[in-house]
Chains A and B, each alone.
Chain A
């Protein structure tokens, strides 16, 4: 398979002395869904910002489609990579339709207006995310879950092969968390998008993502198929928390155990087969 994102010996630090990411190498093949998980401060968002060219590596390289990220013009890179950042409400009241259509900025002609193709792509993105109903509403008037769907609609409207997301489900309730991941999985399966999502939710990652990159706070990392990487030992090593692992058919799920969890030492030991009631 062909690696659309190739990271080689990547190191990064915000100052000359400190190193937050150290000698990281991994590939993401086209059409795969990669989760990036790890404790706070491990550099997940930093890695995402490096992948989209917002930060420059201290050492090593990041190649998108075989070309170093830094060699792309801002416009060309935006045509390859769309980013959904942690959500915020913009200062001016753009409507949902206006906002989603801004993803077409790198494709606009001389006079800065959307062509019919642009409009069709925007419409498809609104339909795919079920946000067409809000098209004329101001972004600020929507709920958190609706807003996040709009941001994903904007990323889809960029029509880029790669989608990067920074904690797309934080602040969302269970239904909306699952809804967002359903949406992303659909985009992966139907449109062949390569998706990289930073997440704190290893259960969602286990359910939806093909691969996972576990970034430890000490600079260690582990990447591989989600089902192989996610084990109680690995999670304890990276997060410093013991987990109870259950299995339901094909799906594995993890429950973190705090020090007040009853019999935590016993139940955390081996994967349990949970019977569906």
Chain B
């Protein structure tokens, strides 16, 4: 039966998408305020006495930042796919269950307390944002469960209310904080890519890739869950187990992304939709491809953020929204005739 996804078809598509990703990473790493010569980069680190600036820029600045963009893009896109499936809501994104406000609250508390230490190369802002994000998702999940065992609407409403409440707390804290503190928090919240050291990147990459592989493993269950809990159960899906695993992994990789780069909007909403419009809703394919497209999208967006007003830089969240919006609308118009829920 050729209509169904086969492992071969999937592997070919993933390989093609990965090739595009590598090419995009490569091209983007050469673009920037300082032009980098490919030949010089490959000539190596240079001898002690005569440093090779091209190599330095490439390895110290461009490469880590591009790897970071890949990581964050993949994490946000995959977690968007999972939240849309679990909440059965096309408007869901990685931040819908309070991760954004929780991270923001954590960040502003760290700033106001004037904490100044470093944990695994992370600033207190990042650490507090990570904890705030996970804590809030747990809180929303807990409140959601009080409304009924698998009550998706209850969970969504809990997310919206907790988001609104924490946003109010954030506004309160910003209004009593000193302006310098406020500026650094707001700048952080806008979503920024910075040059990270490789240790942080590898740990982050390990967690995100591991999480995506684990999510791929439960993707047939996610397919069944998009028909609702009762239906999925009659297809042999362990609802509670699948929901908890999927929520936990999606929340964790989102929290990692947020602690690495702040709040970057739009990636987790539009990349899953774009991938679904083109390749269909089968999660076995949607998850890996969304991850790769999320990475490509954020690498390109971050490169634009670096060069549009060079030598200054834009927050990448601004670029994702400005580039992503029209791109998504174009896809929507092109494919909407094929998709029934848009009618």
CB within 8 Å of B: which residues of A? 49, 52-54, 74-75, 77-79, 81-83, 85, 88-95, 97-99, 101-103, 105-106, 108, 111-114, 119, 122-123, 135-136, 138-141, 158
Contact = CB atoms under 8 A, between A and B. Distances in A.
Interface stretch (B1-9, B29-37, B134-142): B1-9
Given A83-B230, A93-B280, A98-B3, 11 more contacts: A54-B233, A74-B236, A92-B226, A93-B338, A93-B339, A95-B280, A98-B280, A112-B284, A113-B284, A123-B1, A140-B341
B59 interface: no
Question: Nearest 9 pairs between A and B by C-beta?
Answer: A140-B340, A78-B236, A106-B236, A92-B281, A83-B234, A97-B3, A112-B220, A75-B236, A119-B1
B217 interface: yes
A78 B234 contact: yes
B223 interface: yes
B224 A93 contact: no
A78 B235 contact: yes
B145 interface: no
Given A89-B340, A92-B276, A102-B223, A97 B234 contact: no
A105 B340 contact: no
Contact of A85 (B1, B224, B231, B236): B231
Contact of B238 (A75, A92, A103): A75
Nearest to A88: B228
A122 B343 CA distance: 29
Contacts of A98: 3-5, 223, 280-282
21 contacts: A52-B233, A78-B233, A78-B236, A82-B234, A85-B234, A90-B227, A91-B88, A92-B90, A93-B339, A93-B340, A102-B220, A102-B223, A102-B227, A103-B235, A105-B220, A105-B223, A105-B237, A112-B216, A112-B284, A122-B1, A140-B341
B236 A79 contact: yes
B217 A112 contact: yes
Contacts of B5: 98, 113
